[in-house]
C-alpha cells in the first residue's frame, strides 16, 4: 500500500462520518484500479474501459451484462471474501508525531485496514504511522489495488466505519467528482450517503455506459486496429458543441509523427489516411 495525500472525512450535518477519502499520490499503486478490492468485497465485475481494453473484451462484457449495475449498487460490498478488517479500537491508540522543534506534537490515532487474510494476522497499524500534517489532512490513508487502511484522531469515525463493514454497509470506489475531487480511494457508509448524491452517481454511471456504447458504435476502434494505428489511450467523451456526438482523446504511440488531443471520428479516419490533424507527417499529394 502507498500513502495518499490530503486524506479527509465527509461528514453529515450532525458531524457523523459519511465517508473517508484516503487521498491519492502520483504512484503506480494508485493508477492500477481497485480490481482486487472489489473482488475481496464481493462487488460485481466492473465494466472494462473502452479506452484501454480490447474492444472484443468490452463487447463481451456488455453482451453478458446488457444492464450493468450502476451507482451505489456497483460499489457496495456484499461480504468479506478472503480478507479481514483489523483495527486498534480496543487499544489506547497509536502515538504519531507532527511538527518540528518547538512545534513538535504527539497525536493519538486509531485506525483500521482491510487486508488479505494471510497479511492480516501479522499486520500492525504502525505500518501506516508516518509523519502527520494535521493542518493539511484529517487522516493518514494508504491503499493499493488489493487493500487499504487509515488512521485518524477521530476514533468515533473509525469505529463507525469498522462497524459498517460488519453490516455490509460499505461502498468503495475511486473518487473523481462531487465531494471527492482528488481521485483518492473513497470508503463510504452506504446508509449515510445523501439521496441526491446517490442519484447523481447512478446518472453518471448510466451516462458512461451510454458513452461507451456510442463510442463502440462509431466503429473507429476496429478501423484503427485494422490500420495498425497504435495508441496508449483512445478515451471517448461527449462533444459539448454537438449534443450526442462522440469525440475522442487520443494519446498515440509515435508522438514524433503524431499529435495527441481531442479528435472527431472524421479526424481519426483522416489519420488512417496519413493526413489531417493527427498526423504531423502529411500525405503526399
Overall domain count for the chain: 2
pLDDT given at position 28: 82
pLDDT tens-place string over residues 156-170: 999 999 999 999 999
pLDDT given at position 148: 97
pLDDT at 80 over 90: yes
Average pLDDT, integer, range 96-107: 88
pLDDT given at position 178: 47
pLDDT at 252 over 80: yes
Q: Which residues contact 3 (CB under 8 A, 6 or more apart)?
A: 23, 25, 128, 130, 140, 141, 142
pLDDT at 21 over 50: yes
pLDDT at 199 over 70: yes
Is residue 202 domain-resident? no
Question: Between vectors from CA 107 to CA 95 and to CA 94, what angle results, nearest 5°?
Answer: 25
113 vs 108: CA distance, rounded Å: 17
pLDDT given at position 49: 67
pLDDT at 2 over 70: yes
Q: Which of 134, 161, 196 is the last residue of a domain?
A: 196
Q: Are 200 and 34 in contact (CB under 8 A)?
A: no
pLDDT at 182 over 70: no
- Are residue 62 and residue 159 in the same domain, yes or no? yes
Q: How confident is the model at residue 145 (pLDDT cuts 50, 70, 90)?
A: very high
126 vs 80: CA distance, rounded Å: 23
Its pTM stands at 0.85
- Are residue 143 and residue 14 in the same domain, yes or no? yes
- Are residue 29 and residue 150 in the same domain, yes or no? yes
- Are residue 66 and residue 149 in the same domain, yes or no? yes
pLDDT given at position 179: 47
pLDDT at 277 over 60: yes
- 3-state percent helix, strand, coil for the chain, nearest multiple of 5: 30, 30, 40
- Are residue 157 and residue 250 in the same domain, yes or no? no
Average pLDDT, integer, range 49-73: 76
pLDDT at 55 over 80: no
pLDDT tens-place string over residues 117-136: 999 989 999 989 888 999 99
pLDDT given at position 237: 93
pLDDT at 281 over 60: yes
pLDDT at 229 over 90: yes
- Are residue 42 and residue 85 in the same domain, yes or no? yes
Is residue 172 domain-resident? yes
- Are residue 94 and residue 19 in the same domain, yes or no? yes
pLDDT given at position 176: 62
Q: How confident is the model at residue 171 (pLDDT cuts 50, 70, 90)?
A: very high
Q: Which domain holds residue 266?
A: 218-272
pLDDT given at position 51: 59
CB atoms within 10 A of CB 220: 25
pLDDT given at position 283: 55
Average predicted confidence (pLDDT) for the chain: 90
Is residue 282 domain-resident? no
pLDDT at 38 over 90: yes
Amino acid at each position: 500500500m502507498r500513502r495518499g495525500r490530503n486524506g479527509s472525512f465527509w461528514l453529515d450535518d450532525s458531524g457523523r462520518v459519511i465517508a473517508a477519502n484516503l487521498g491519492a499520490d502520483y504512484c503506480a499503486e494508485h493508477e492500477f484500479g481497485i480490481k482486487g478490492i472489489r473482488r475481496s468485497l464481493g462487488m460485481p465485475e466492473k465494466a472494462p474501459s473502452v479506452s484501454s481494453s480490447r474492444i472484443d473484451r468490452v463487447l463481451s462484457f456488455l453482451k453478458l451484462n446488457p444492464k450493468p449495475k450502476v451507482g451505489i449498487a456497483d460499489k457496495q460490498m456484499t461480504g468479506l471474501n478472503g480478507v479481514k478488517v483489523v483495527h486498534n479500537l480496543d487499544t489506547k491508540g497509536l502515538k504519531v508525531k507532527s511538527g518540528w522543534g518547538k512545534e513538535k506534537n504527539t497525536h493519538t490515532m486509531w485506525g483500521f485496514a482491510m487486508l488479505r487474510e494471510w497479511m492480516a494476522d501479522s499486520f500492525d497499524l504502525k505500518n501506516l504511522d508516518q509523519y502527520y500534517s494535521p493542518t493539511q489532512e484529517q487522516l493518514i490513508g494508504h491503499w493499493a489495488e488489493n487493500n487499504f487502511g487509515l488512521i485518524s484522531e477521530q476514533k468515533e469515525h473509525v469505529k463507525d466505519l469498522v462497524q459498517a463493514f460488519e453490516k455490509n454497509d460499505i461502498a468503495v470506489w475511486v473518487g473523481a467528482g462531487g465531494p471527492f475531487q482528488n481521485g483518492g480511494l473513497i470508503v463510504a457508509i452506504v446508509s449515510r450517503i445523501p439521496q441526491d448524491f446517490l442519484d447523481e452517481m447512478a446518472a453518471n454511471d448510466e451516462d458512461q455506459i451510454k458513452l461507451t456504447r456510442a463510442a463502440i458504435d462509431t466503429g473507429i476502434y476496429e478501423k484503427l486496429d485494422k490500420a495498425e494505428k497504435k495508441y496508449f489511450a483512445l478515451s471517448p467523451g461527449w462533444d459539448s458543441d454537438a449534443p450526442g456526438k462522440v469525440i475522442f482523446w487520443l494519446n498515440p504511440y509515435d508522438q514524433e509523427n503524431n499529435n495527441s488531443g481531442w479528435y472527431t471520428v472524421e479526424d481519426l479516419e483522416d489519420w488512417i489516411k496519413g493526413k489531417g490533424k493527427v498526423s504531423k507527417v502529411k500525405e503526399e499529394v
